Chains A and B, each alone.
Chain A
Amino acid sequence: MSGEISIKGLSKVYRTDDSETVAIKDFNLEIKEGELIAIVGPSGCGKTTLLRCIAGLEEVTAGVISSGSKVFSEPGPDRGMVFQDFALFPWRTVRKNIEFGLEIAGMPKEQRKEKSDKYLALMGLTAFADAQVHELSGGMKQRVSIARALITHPDIILMDEPFGALDAQTRNIMQMELVKLLDKTDQTIVFITHSVDEAVFLADRIVVLTKRPAEIKEIVEVPWPRPRDRASPEFTALRKRILTELENENTLV
């Protein structure tokens, strides 16, 4: 395992003919192996851009993102990604979606089936193995997407508002399931979210960003074991504090 992430001097600038948008400016962050980092920030602050830079889907303007001696300049199977809108392949069944990464790696069919059976069971999808994607509910789709990202055993999992498209109830269920899943894996997770509640519920550390260009406003350690009690006074107090900080960011426009 080499799940640590080191971000040094990261800047991302979008240039068009007559304008320049600085999405991220001189950003530094060290993420430890096996850590769950939640990144929260005002809308449009560059959270997703940051995640896409780590994934290697965006070219960085300056700076280096690396893990040990490995520099992340291109996407790779060492970093799995879960998208907000699931990004499942609609022409593939649930099983074939989950097996995609294994297929790419050239794993023989029997082995693929063995592994996908395991992940189908893990995510409670066994009964839906041969279903088409469009037959599933939003929560089910995101389970498929998570299974697809987990199956190749990436050291790092990047989640871009994975529960953002789900209704509140499904969202809570998925958060609980992610907590259970976390106990079984030692992967590093970088989790982008709109929801401070979700961040406090899940994360080891919460990185609070400023409005664009994204800089770190504060890093909050959340020392409590999971699963956490949303109704506890510490929980609500921490949530309120971070929310206030974000509101200040939003009104400073």
Chain B
Amino acid sequence: MTDYFGFNYDKNNKHHRMIRQALLIVVSLYGFVLLWWIVSLLANSVAIPTPLETWDEFVRLLRDGDVTNYGASVWGYVGSSMTTFLEGFAVAFVIAVPLGLLLGYSKDLRDLTAPAIEVLRPIAPIAWAPILILSIDYVVGPVLVVAIGIFFPLLTNTIFGVQKIDRNLTDAAKTLGAKPYQIFYKVMVPSALPYVMNGVKVGLGVGWMCIIAAELYAPSLGGIGNFLSEQAFMGYWPSVYAALILIAAMGLITTGLAEYVHKIITRRMGME
């Protein structure tokens, strides 16, 4: 029991914890908005609209659409970005996870690929954006940029997950008659799963950094990143910030989803 201004907080009480969590979110966001407001007043610049101006513009944008583009719906922009993002994620996932499982399993393959991976990994994924978009095309290019961004954290986490496997578990499987391929998919894959999900969580964050930058090179794709940069060029600052709200919301939705799946898996395995 901790006394907070006369309120007895009991951390073992589920309702108390929920109230605490809700209060923290409210206070944190409130503080952020307050800070933003102060900065915008002090700066007194059109480039930093107040939170209220931004909110009004956000509501107007959802209602009237993009007035600089014949009232095109912002949901179209959001949909385009989301599509690019999910496609990039899918590409990264189907390559990084099997490859990570394989590299985690075989030390020879790991040692063989490590030098190449270590050379490529530090390259900022965004550096690939002009290359891939101009050399392939403006649809596939951004997808690949996102895929590259998600690929490395997902790969390294998956490899790590396989290497972290409790040797007793593979030994137990062997004594129960499991063949190497059965050990692989009945022991290694499920036991690496929480680490894969961790890679997904990290990867999603990197992916959102990549997509907005990639869209700057692909204006015809009509994603939210392109909308943001066009509004900035035209000096419609409240719109720029409204776009940021949409980007933040999309990021929250995908990471929230991954967080949820990760929680289910780790809880089931008693890893909390």
- Known A-B contacts A81-B171, A132-B268; the reply to A87 vs B166 at CB < 8 A is yes
Report which of B175, B265, B271 forms a contact with A55, defined as CB distance below 8 A.
Answer: B175
A134 engages B168 (CB within 8 Å)? no
Please tell me if B115 contacts chain A, counting CB pairs below 8 Å: no
Please tell me if A101 contacts chain B, counting CB pairs below 8 Å: yes
- Closest residue on chain A to residue B194 by CB atoms: A91
Please tell me if B172 contacts chain A, counting CB pairs below 8 Å: yes
Residues on A close to B: CB < 8 A?
Answer: 55-57, 75-77, 79-81, 83, 85, 87-91, 100-101, 103-105, 132-135, 148-149, 152, 158
A104 engages B182 (CB within 8 Å)? yes
| Residue interface bits B148-185, CB-to-A below 8 A is 1, else 0 | 00000000000000000010110111111111001000
Please tell me if B229 contacts chain A, counting CB pairs below 8 Å: no
Please tell me if B190 contacts chain A, counting CB pairs below 8 Å: yes
A209 to B156 Cα, complex, angstroms: 45
A100 to B178 Cα, complex, angstroms: 9
Minimum CB–CB distance from A164 to chain B (whole Å) comes to 14
- Closest residue on chain A to residue B270 by CB atoms: A134
Minimum CB–CB distance from A29 to chain B (whole Å) comes to 20
Q: A89-B169, A133-B270 are in contact. List 18 more A-B contacts (CB 8 A).
A: A55-B175, A56-B174, A57-B174, A75-B175, A75-B177, A79-B175, A81-B175, A83-B168, A87-B171, A87-B172, A89-B191, A90-B270, A91-B190, A91-B268, A101-B176, A132-B268, A132-B269, A149-B175
Minimum CB–CB distance from B162 to chain A (whole Å) comes to 15
Q: How many residues of B contact A (CB 8 A)?
A: 23
A75 engages B269 (CB within 8 Å)? no
Please tell me if B187 contacts chain A, counting CB pairs below 8 Å: yes
A134 engages B177 (CB within 8 Å)? no
A149 to B176 Cα, complex, angstroms: 7
- Known A-B contacts A85-B168, A87-B169, A104-B182; the reply to A80 vs B175 at CB < 8 A is yes
- Chain B residues contacting A104 (CB-CB under 8 Å) are 173, 176-179, 182, 186
- Chain A residues contacting B177 (CB-CB under 8 Å) are 75-77, 101, 104-105, 152
B269 engages A91 (CB within 8 Å)? yes
A100 engages B173 (CB within 8 Å)? yes
B270 engages A135 (CB within 8 Å)? yes
Report which of A57, A80, A132 forms a contact with B176, defined as CB distance below 8 A.
Answer: A80
A87 to B174 Cα, complex, angstroms: 12
A133 to B271 Cα, complex, angstroms: 11
A149 to B172 Cα, complex, angstroms: 9
A91 to B270 Cα, complex, angstroms: 8
- Chain A residues contacting B187 (CB-CB under 8 Å) are 89
Please tell me if B258 contacts chain A, counting CB pairs below 8 Å: no
B171 engages A83 (CB within 8 Å)? yes
Please tell me if B193 contacts chain A, counting CB pairs below 8 Å: yes
Minimum CB–CB distance from B271 to chain A (whole Å) comes to 7
